[in-house]
Amino acid sequence: MKKRTTTKIGNVFGYLTVIGDIVDKNSRNNKIGKYVLCRCICNNEKYINYRSLIKGKSRSCGCKRGEFRTKPSEIKVGQIFGKLKFTGIEKNINGVKFLEMTCLCGNIKFVRKHSLLRKHTTSCGCFQNEVRGIHYKTDLTGNKYGNLLVTKRMSIRETGKKRTYYECLCNCGLVSCVESTKLTRGRTKTCGNCSNRVNGVSVSFAQLQLKEMIPIRYKPELNFKICTKFADIVIQDHKIVIEYDSWFHHANSVEKDKDKILKFNSIGWKALSIKSDHSLPSRERLIYTIQNLINSDKMYDEIVLDDWGYGPTFKEVLEKKRQNKLLEQGVSNGL
């Protein structure tokens, strides 16, 4: 995992030297972000976005911008990308450059230049069909995924869908129909009507794992309602709330999470916040932190793991899907 990068006064990033602490400022789109006061090699002082600074996107105040620009890669006629070969024909649709490619299977397809250079597209789609064929031949009957035991493979006549589905028996006794890829990739682990809902609220797989890590003597409970808020896990005997905040879902709701913790504190509940993207703390670290809260007067503590702050967020994924959909519509209209 990547180590978290921090900034201190005197740190150098490219041509920029940090001369101030991190502050909250309004950006161009009137959103509050974290900025750091830096001095450039040209003696110009400027507030630089914190994330752009530590990720290497901002390396000067703007005076050295030309040095960091990379010339767009040129694609020559006959150049090969996976199974695709460039024919030499280009089209510009809605400001996006598309290249005509011939596949080894004989199909001709227009592909975005960016997708070729990033190796996102390496065939006309025939390779994906081959992979699907391999998955189709693999039988998952008898395997267990989470709480689900695969009992039989379902035919297209039974499901009415082209994708491969399996009939699964859950630990609670209910039978459900689940797509094969959701089983193999770990996206579906229950039938949807038992352990993934407590008190009418869905339970994440991370919550279930955290509950298993907490000793039974603490009597952890899932989705416990305190006033009008639901807590992920609570230890009633010691009035402790445990909240698991993943970067994917909580990156854009940090202030709301703080208000929730403050509300718990105001009515006498101590709070432990675990911040991560998808990983979990070790059992020893979790128990040690809980015991510290019990034995001290602290009302709040947190465990921040290395993957907090990295990876896409829910809003970014939705926006990317929306842009891709608009682009596909533009391509289909242009072609």
Q: Is residue 328 part of a domain?
A: no
Question: How far is it, in rounded angstroms, from Cα 300 to Cα 298?
Answer: 6
Per-residue H/E/C for 166-233: EEEEECCCCEEEEEHHHHHCCCCCCCCCCCCEECCEECCHHHHHHHHHCCHHHCEEEEEEECCEEEEE
What was the pLDDT predicted at 1?
Answer: 42
**Lowest-pLDDT range of 49-58, 72-81, 163-172, 186-195:** 186-195
User: Mean pLDDT throughout 283-298?
Assistant: 90
CA distances from 196 to 149, 190, 207, 320 (A): 16, 7, 10, 28
- Nearest Cα to Cα of residue 149 among 157, 141, 161, 158: 141
Q: How far apart are CA 143 and CA 207, in angstroms?
A: 24
In a domain, 101, yes or no: yes
Residue-wise pLDDT for 92-131, tens only, equals: 877 778 888 898 888 888 888 878 887 788 888 777 766 5
pLDDT band at 136 (very low <50, low <70, confident <90, very high): low
Could you say which of 38, 68, 98 is where a domain stops? 68
Is 317 a domain residue?
Answer: no
157 and 62 part of one domain: no
Within the chain, residue ranges assigned H as helices are 50-54, 65-68, 113-117, 126-137, 156-159, 180-184, 205-213, 247-250, 254-266, 283-295, 314-334
Contact 196, 213 (CB under 8 A): no
Q: What is the number of structural domains in the chain?
A: 4
Same domain, 109 and 165: no
Same domain, 210 and 289: yes
Within-domain flag for 190:
no
**Same domain flag for 122 and 152:** no
Q: Within this chain, do residues 50 and 97 fall inside the same structural domain, yes or no?
A: no
> Which residue carries 């039978």 as its tokens?
175
The C-alpha atoms of residue 273 and residue 317 are separated, in whole angstroms, by 25
Residues 6+ apart with CB under 8 A from 47: 23, 25, 35, 36, 37, 38
Q: Is the pLDDT of residue 15 over 70?
A: yes
DSSP 3-state of 100: strand
Domain-located, residue 106:
yes
Q: Judge if 238 and 218 occupy the same domain.
A: yes
pTM of the model: 0.44
* Statement to judge: residues 285 and 214 lie in one domain: yes
Predicted pLDDT at 270: 92
DSSP type of residue 75: -
294 lies in the same domain as 211: yes
Domain that holds residue 213: 197-304
49 and 121 together in one domain: no
Residue 6 located in a structural domain: no
Please check whether residues 64 and 90 belong to one and the same domain: no
Residues 248 and 294 in one domain: yes
Q: Is residue 134 part of a domain?
A: no
